[in-house]
Chains A and B, each alone.
Chain A
Amino acid sequence: GDSVTQMEGPVTLSEEAFLTINCTYTATGYPSLFWYVQYPGEGLQLLLKATKADDKGSNKGFEATYRKETTSFHLEKGSVQVSDSAVYFCALRGDNAGNMLTFGGGTRLMVKP
């Protein structure tokens, strides 16, 4: 079945550092890919998405490119802020799986001033 693998956290960075959180997936066909973020005490919020190969999703300075050849959807940000401290979840929705989302394990990001 479908699966998503993320790098384990926590990831601890200083403010203005470059961020990469790796995400790879296994799925048949052409899934849609998502990054969700969970700030402390809040629910899951969609951060960005990409629905076909080579699409780049972007939002709030974060970017991720749908790479079918490497089955990856790595999250990047050029300069992180303390306010980016949260848990980040990579997820996919298979093209024949209805609306069910398959999540990775989540990566906690801690940004220090």
Chain B
Amino acid sequence: KNQVEQSPQSLIILEGKNCTLQCNYTVSPFSNLRWYKQDTGRGPVSLTIMTFSENTKSNGRYTATLDADTKQSSLHITASQLSDSASYICVVSGPGNTPLVFGKGTRLSVIA
């Protein structure tokens, strides 16, 4: 069964610190992997999309990595800000029209 597992479930960090969120997947064959940020009560917003051939992609203070061999991805947040408090969802896509597979997300809280 195609699955996406994220860890940790939740995380609390101090403002200004860095953190890394993990995503493991079993989706095969694999087309692309996406990270979304979802603020409370809002829809998810795309942070990065990586294809099979990409192993890192940055979007400001967010850097995603992908190891397609081990089926692992990470999202690294640098110099965290209070506004980074949100759920971060890893999403994996198979080929063609197959539905995206969503992880349950990591709930990040950044505190002052």
A, B from the same assembly: no
